[in-house]
Amino acid sequence: SKECGRGTFSYFDEKMNAKAAERLILHGGLRQALGRDELSLVYQPQVNLRTGRVFGAEALLRWTPRDGEPVSPSRFIPVAEESGLILPIGEYVIHEAFRQARRWCDAGLPIQVSINVSGIQIYRSDLVATLAAVQRDTGVAPDLIELELTESTLMEDVNAAREVLDALKRAGYGLAIDDFGTGYSSLAYLKRFPLNKLKIDRSFVTDVCSNAEDRAIARAVIQIARSLNHRVIAEGVETVEQAALLRRHGCNEAQGYLFGRPMAADELAGLLDAPATA
């Protein structure tokens, strides 16, 4: 009925308003977050599935407003991207991740650090120059740094992305495709990017033991990586069974709660003395 239709409309309308209001509030808070020292990085271990050793860590951003609860990056990163705040925030992440790589190196723990890079940083900033300046300041060997980019980011403007990636590759950084399998990348383009690694998205890992389709996708990603001569890492590995299955199918590396949650840098250093599980 008409009334029902109107009701539905205003329901969506209100939901949209609520969403817009939330974004405004997040945006307001996020604008001050850097100056107020509310942002920090945590690190999640990455493990070699053959040796069981931790070789690297993904830097993950955390925001805890001074007078509030922590806000999840899946909520605030999109707001930061829409508003352009991802540029200063992304620079903070790069600085901090390099400084941490340097501290670990100085402590005799050469851990590779993976940094998430947003498309805005690729297309609307001089990422190559930013990294060069931070690299010079910190003296971190570029091969200790890996940059994670999503496939949808790269497909936005294949030619521009390729130019940036070629420069990053020449500078010596590792390049990984994040959340692989969830975007729409064309394999024809993919092979032209100078990549080192594909990262199997958690959505295919969660049920990899019980769901034949997810398993087929995970295996396909591993095959693609192998035929392109890239390494492959699985994210979201939570059980020994998942790790064993992925390893059996040729996956090189894994990351997930099984090996460790995202944690403070000092805590991660403590993990390195003991071999990881699985």
Which chain residues interact with ligand C2E by CB under 6 A?
44, 60-61, 72-74, 77, 93, 116, 118, 178-179, 202, 235-238, 256-257, 262
Task: For the CB of residue 178, give the shortest distance to ligand C2E in the complex, in Å.
Answer: 5
DSSP 55-105: EEEEEEEEE--TTS--B-HHHHHHHHHHHSTHHHHHHHHHHHHHHHHHHHH
- Chain-centroid distance of CA 275 in Å reads 24
User: Whole-number minimum distance, CB 41 to ligand C2E, in Å?
Assistant: 7
In angstroms, rounded to a whole number, what is the distance separating the alpha carbons of residues 77 and 247?
32
Residues 261 and 242: their CA atoms lie apart, in Å, by: 16
Q: Closest approach of Cβ 237 to ligand C2E, in Å?
A: 6
Rounded least distance, CB 93 to ligand C2E, Å: 4
CB of 14 to ligand C2E, least distance (A): 27
Q: Cα 245 to the chain's mean position, in Å? A: 23
C-beta of 13 vs 156, nearer to ligand C2E: 156
Determine if 253 is a binding residue for Ca ion (CB under 5 A): no
Residue placing its CB nearer to ligand C2E in the complex, 60 or 246: 60
Tell me which of Ca ion, ligand C2E, none is bound by residue 118, counting a contact when its beta carbon lies within the kind-specific cut-off of 5 to 8 angstroms.
ligand C2E
Rule CB under 5 A: say whether 148 interacts with Ca ion: yes
- SS3 track for 102-150: HHHHHCCCCCEEEEECCHHHHHCCCHHHHHHHHHHHHCCCHHHEEEEEE
> Could you say which DSSP state residue 262 is in?
S
Task: Rule CB under 5 A: say whether 116 interacts with Ca ion.
Answer: yes
* Structural element, H or E, at residue 54: strand 54-63
Pick the stretch among 121-129, 152-160, 201-209, 239-247 that binds Ca ion (CB under 5 A).
201-209
25-33, 169-177, 227-235, 239-247 -> range binding Ca ion (CB under 5 A): 227-235
Residue closer to Ca ion (CB basis): 87 or 233: 233
Q: Give which of ligand C2E, Ca ion, none residue 214 binds (C-beta under 5 to 8 Å, depending on kind).
A: none
3-state class percentages of the chain: helix first, strand second, coil last, to nearest 5 = 50, 20, 30
In the bound complex, what is the minimum distance in angstroms from residue 181's beta carbon to ligand C2E?
12
- Return the half-sphere exposure (C-beta side, CA atoms, 13 A cut-off) of residue 92: 19
At 37 the three-state DSSP class reads coil
Q: Both tokens of residue 75?
A: 């909520």
Quick check: 121 binds Ca ion (CB under 5 A)? no
- In the complex, the smallest distance separating the C-beta of residue 35 from Ca ion, rounded to whole angstroms, is 26
Identify the residue among 179, 219, 245, 255 touching Ca ion (CB under 5 A): 179
Q: Which of 178, 198, 243, 247 binds Ca ion (CB under 5 A)?
A: 178
3-class DSSP state of 256: coil
Return residues touching Ca ion (CB under 5 A): 116, 148, 178-179, 201-202, 235
